Amino acid sequence: MDTSAGAGCPLSLVAHHAASATSRGALFAALEQALATQLGADRARLLEISQDRRGASGEPTDAVDYVRFDEGPSATATVLRTGAPLAIPDALTSDALVSGLAEQHGVASALFVPVAYGGAIRDVLLIAWNDPRAISAEDVRDAQLLADQAAAGYGRLEAEERRAAGSLQDRAVVRAARALGQSLELQEVLQTLVEEASLALDGDESGVYLADLEAGDAVATAGYKVPEPWVGARIKPGEGAAGRVFASGKAFITQDYQQLGGFTQHPQRPELMTAVSVPMYWDDELRGALSVAWKRRRFVHDEDVRTLEAIAGLATVACRNAEAFEHVQHVARTDALTGVLNHGAMQLRIREEIARARRDGHPLGAVILDLDDFKGVNDTQGHAAGDELLRTVARALQGELRPYDQVARYGGDEFVLLLPGSDEEMTAQVAERCRDAIGGKCSIGVAAWHDGLDADGLLEQADRALMLAKRTGKGRVAVANPEVERELALLQSRSGSPAAVQALAAAIEERDNYTHEHTQELVRLARGVAMMLGLDSGHVERIAHAALLHDVGKLAMPEELLTKDGPLTQEEWEVMSEHPIVGERILARTKELSTLAPIVRHEHEHWNGTGYPDGLERTRIPVGSRVILACHAYVAMTTERPYRPALTPARSITELRAGSGSKYDPEVIDALLDLLGHDRPQVPDRAAGVKLAAAPPREATSRRSAGPPGWAPGG
């Protein structure tokens, strides 16, 4: 080839465009012009080799469509295999090699030349003549020189594109990484990641599939610009690009997507041409695949794969985090021994189901089941036998329930069942089946929710029914109704007042003279407020008992703190502030008094969560504790102490109003202020009355808020 003509010669023309062209199309136009000038070519096409080396597509595709190398002899495949140009002087007699170019496109002679850059043959240059031509060695040499010059330009353009894409990909990976810290919702995180994957690779769509290890297939979990329906569709190993990943465990790339075959359950995708999919591994198992697809043929570079693998790694972290979070949630809501819900989880479910029942008008039943003589099993057969019995009971109860019913081990040998959609009669029938399923060795209380009843009230009614079942022979099912209270009152009248309550109250008064002076007034007010709140009689009496014993923890406090004339120091307050916890422990040891334990523990909790010992807030604080806190505050403010004078009732009421909604329950304050507006003799003034049923153990974590210096023993 003569290159002396400078910029006007064919080689110089291609070299100039190889250095300056901004697109493959502009460079190819210069190459086509040079081929026509130098070799008299009538036309030329650039055949792009597919990344899997199994075929080639023409540029533009209206002249040469995709050629699959496995469908027979091919001139392009020959050049790819040998790395050398291939001359076809007579295309008609070599039709098998040139894929019908002679008959379909009128090509008489052809020359196929490799175009190599990026370390591999990336394209094959097809040079065609409409008339037969003897293709000389010089023609082949000139064609290769022009192709090599063009290859340099193609390599430059690709490098520039990769640099620009690399910056985009880096930013996409950073954004994807941020998504991990913005949500614990797996679906939300995966949706962000597939969007970033598509944007990073300039894809037409993207998706993530997660393996269903039990079914042996994979589920489309999140997608970007995918057709509907897509999420939820299933693929088998080997189906589509992601299916190839599940079959091989390795990344997969194709520029001939349709050659992969169809799907059995997944929507067919005839518009896709190129796809890349990479695996997601965790716990040493292939658990997912992240894919990006294009509706055009596109070369997928190593950098593209690495970017997709980086985002897939983030998706893997999201999936692992979701599994770990689910496990933590499961552990947090599950009783470790029996595998059913625990106390806290059941409390939450009860509140949720009450809200649903109130909204939808559906019935809701609750059951409290207590094993009869369980202590004897532990004492005679050992705790291992007792534990196994609890597991057996839990399984038996689950076997009697519907899928949407709930069962919880509420504490010790006590279970709670929650039955959405069940009225009183249906709930009682379930309770009887449960009793029979465990051999009748339990007592059961049944209650049906009605409007105006909260979670505590619902369980309180079931607990009162359980108390009656226990006291009338065990192995019984009792349903909460007004008759239950009459029967319990009758039983109480036969057994006398709870001596334990009076004995402890006397012991408290003996230790702390201030307690004696203010406790009776506190009991009177607490009972009156509880009645004004509309609580049932059993609940009212429990609150009165708790008010009488609210300072029982002071029995364990140092004598010098109880008798100190002035305010306590911070260190002394730290010691004294333990008395609600100590009081709870004392009461919890006696079954008759155990229902008072949570009320006493939380009597210093504030409505806004700033109280102690657990920092509970709002309705998480037992209603009895909220009543005692407000009544105790009024009594304390209106009682003279050695270190301060008593406040007037009017000033005390002003202080209560100021604390309503922050320290005190607003509803309790309203009831107390209404009560204080009556003549005082109208407030019932009678000693504690009925026996008390066992309460479930508390499941709160101690979290004391610091108390201020100057806190007084009676405050």
For 651-667, what is the HEC assignment?
A: HHHHHHHHHECCCECHH
Least confident of 94-103, 447-456, 504-513: 504-513
pLDDT bucket at 492, cuts 50 / 70 / 90: low
Q: Quick one: pLDDT at residue 141?
A: 92
Dihedrals phi, psi of 609, to nearest 5 degrees: 85, 10
Instruction: Determine contact, residues 248/221, Cβ cutoff 8 Å.
Output: no
Instruction: Determine contact, residues 289/308, Cβ cutoff 8 Å.
Output: no
> Which one is predicted more confidently, 695 or 550?
550
pLDDT at 436 over 90: yes
Residue ranges in 556-596 assigned as alpha helix (H): 559-562, 570-576, 579-588
Report the pLDDT averaged over residues 260-265. Answer: 70
Q: Quick one: pLDDT at residue 617?
A: 94
What does the block give as tokens for 165?
């894409």
> Which one is predicted more confidently, 695 or 435?
435
Task: Enumerate residues 6+ apart whose C-beta is below 8 A from 104.
Answer: none
Q: Quick one: pLDDT at residue 390?
A: 94
pLDDT at 623 over 80: yes
Q: Quick one: pLDDT at residue 68?
A: 61
Q: Quick one: pLDDT at residue 709?
A: 32
Least confident of 540-549, 610-619, 689-698: 689-698
Q: Quick one: pLDDT at residue 58?
A: 60
CA distance 11 to 16: 9
CA distance 264 to 216: 14
pLDDT bucket at 611, cuts 50 / 70 / 90: very high
With vertex at residue 571, the alpha carbon angle to CA 570 and CA 573, rounded to the nearest 5 degrees, is 65
pLDDT bucket at 691, cuts 50 / 70 / 90: very low
Q: Quick one: pLDDT at residue 701?
A: 31
In this prediction the pTM is: 0.42
pLDDT at 223 over 50: yes
Percentage above 70 pLDDT, the chain: 80
> Which one is predicted more confidently, 220 or 182?
220
Least confident of 284-288, 434-438, 615-619: 284-288
Q: Quick one: pLDDT at residue 180?
A: 58
Peptide bond before residue 73 is cis, with ω within 30 degrees of 0: no
Report the pLDDT averaged over residues 425-429. Answer: 95
Q: Quick one: pLDDT at residue 697?
A: 35
> Which one is predicted more confidently, 208 or 549?
208
Q: Quick one: pLDDT at residue 57?
A: 62
Q: Quick one: pLDDT at residue 6?
A: 47
Report the pLDDT averaged over residues 578-586. Answer: 86
| 217-224 sheet: strands from edge to edge | 234-235, 217-224, 205-212, 285-294, 274-282, 252-254
Q: Quick one: pLDDT at residue 140?
A: 92
Report the pLDDT averaged over residues 518-537. Answer: 86
Least confident of 40-49, 292-301, 302-311, 565-574: 565-574
pLDDT bucket at 27, cuts 50 / 70 / 90: confident
* Domain architecture of the chain: domains with CATH: 6-162 (3.30.450.40), 183-331 (3.30.450.40), 338-495 (3.30.70.270), 499-682 (1.10.3210.10)
DSSP states along 124-163: EEEEEESS-----HHHHHHHHHHHHHHHHHHHHHHHHHHH
Per the DSSP assignment, residues forming a β-bridge with 285 are: 282
Most confident residue range from 146-160, 684-698, 700-714: 146-160
Report the pLDDT averaged over residues 303-330. Answer: 78
Report the pLDDT averaged over residues 456-466. Answer: 90
Report the pLDDT averaged over residues 210-220. Answer: 89
Report the pLDDT averaged over residues 33-55. Answer: 82
Residue ranges in 474-622 assigned as alpha helix (H): 482-495, 499-511, 513-532, 537-548, 559-562, 570-576, 579-588, 597-601
pLDDT at 505 over 70: no
pLDDT at 276 over 70: yes
pLDDT at 47 over 70: yes
Mean pLDDT over each residue of the chain, to the nearest integer: 80
pLDDT at 520 over 90: no
Q: Quick one: pLDDT at residue 77?
A: 84
Q: Quick one: pLDDT at residue 452?
A: 85
pLDDT bucket at 494, cuts 50 / 70 / 90: very low
Express each pLDDT in 367-422 by its tens digit: 999 998 887 888 788 889 999 999 999 999 999 999 889 999 988 889 999 999 99
